[in-house]
Amino acid sequence: MKLVFAGTPEVAVPALDALIASGRHEVAAVVTRPDAPAGRGRRLVASPVAQRAEEAGIEVLKPGRPRDEDFLARLREIAPDCCPVVAYGALLPRVALDIPAHGWVNLHFSLLPAWRGAAPVQHAVMAGDEITGASTFLIEEGLDSGPVYGTVTEEVRATDTSGDLLTRLAFAGSGLLAATMDGIEDGTLKAVPQPADGVTLAPKISVEDAHVDWAAPALRVDRVVRGCTPSPGSWTVFRGERLKLIQVVPVPERTDLAPGALAVGKNNVYVGTGSYAVELLWVQAQGKKPMRAADWARGVRIASGEVVGG
């Protein structure tokens, strides 16, 4: 088939690579979000998908909005059979959805109908899911509600951050998306409507969502930290300033600390929660680089009775 691939961030690159490498389909063009400011200089930088497409000599389309007439006209000229999508980042209007003969097929990083929305992997980690996965489905105008072509499953490991899990799903999902394109082409794959039961939503995680509640149980604190790593980054407050929490580990045997209370040893920093303590392993103070929590504690000279939170 002739394909137009739509995607923007680094997580979409493995799927683009898989389609290019398959040799069975032609990736005629790539659709991605416009160049965005990045780095200290805030200069405009092309998306990871745009950079990979340019390296491969593939035409890159960067519409400000997918309903822009110039973009729609070019898409009609290309006349794709199907448009595979991975984390494109913009809502596709009906007029665009109707152009490819086989529609737009999205690779979504959950087992639909669970975790429909922008942050399925973060929500899966924060909810304590033991199994998640990726799904390919036909895009409709509803939120991730279209019929499903196929799925792959992936175990959520006890120490996974959302970044760890998303990286694995990006590679597992790339094979699923390529196989979905093959099945659509040869007619062996039919999309199956999603069940009405089991729908959960995964809206974008806000900075406030990432604020750690020390009155919550230790397992919940751990899940919030892992689910919000690397983005948007979980945090607490220490001496009136934000302290980013990069890695913690529950310590069930330490039950003597009140929620938010700090205890500092020679090489350990503990914080009380609503159940038992967690040990802070890596943190990042405002204006500083990430560091081991023990080094941070030595630098700030935590006094007896000090707390985090607020």
Please state the residue numbers annotated as binding site for (6S)-5,6,7,8-tetrahydrofolate: 110-113
- The rounded distance, in Å, linking the Cα atoms of 138 and 149 is 8
Q: Kindly state the tokens that stand for 309.
A: 């939170």
Closest CA to 219 of 195, 248, 193: 248
- The rounded distance, in Å, linking the Cα atoms of 305 and 43 is 46
- The rounded distance, in Å, linking the Cα atoms of 149 and 45 is 34
- The rounded distance, in Å, linking the Cα atoms of 51 and 232 is 24
Q: Is 122 helix (H, G, I), strand (E, B) or coil?
A: helix
CA 272 vs CA 141, 186, 269, 301: distances in Å: 46, 58, 10, 18
Binding residues: 110-113
Number of helices (H) and strands (E) in the chain: give both, helices first.
8, 15
Residue pointed to by tokens 């560091």: 291
- The rounded distance, in Å, linking the Cα atoms of 169 and 153 is 9
| DSSP string for 61-116 | E--SSTT-HHHHHHHHHH--SBEEEES--SPPPHHHHTSSTT-EEEEESS-TTSSB
Q: What is the dihedral of CA 246, 250, 255, 257, to 10 degrees?
A: 0
